[in-house]
Amino acid sequence: MVTATEHLERLAVALDGAGWTVDRRYSGPPLVRVSSSKAPHIGDSIGVKDGVGGVPWFVSSCGDPLAPCHDVRRACAEVGELLSLLAAVQAARSSRGRVI
């Protein structure tokens, strides 16, 4: 049986390869903290949770399912999309009040 840490390590390698900053947090409940080097204060912690029929899924820190653990490519894309959205929201908030 594959452990949550093993699933997360496969995801961490893929996220590293995609250019994200990855902090492995395997003591306690295993998590992978993902952020951008351009905005390290914006990120998400990804964990593993059993889904329907006991199939393990990667989940965001909000509990949103990202992809089944066997689909690392999809999970990596979902994390990238989520972090890009969070960065865009942060950029929009930061630009408020500025004269352009």
User: What pLDDT does residue 94 have?
Assistant: 76
- H helix intervals, 1-100: 4-17, 72-95
pLDDT for res 93: 79
- Cα–Cα distance, 8 to 94 (Å, whole number): 32
24-72 pLDDT tens trace: 999 999 999 999 887 788 899 999 999 888 899 999 999 999 999 999 9
CB neighbour list of residue 54: distance below 8 Å, 6 or more residues apart: none
pTM given for the model: 0.87
pLDDT range class, residue 98, cuts 50, 70, 90: low
Buried b (16+ CB within 10 A) or exposed e, 45-67: bbbbeeeeeeebbbbbeeeeebb
The answer for residues whose C-beta is within 8 angstroms of residue 3's C-beta and 6 or more apart is 30
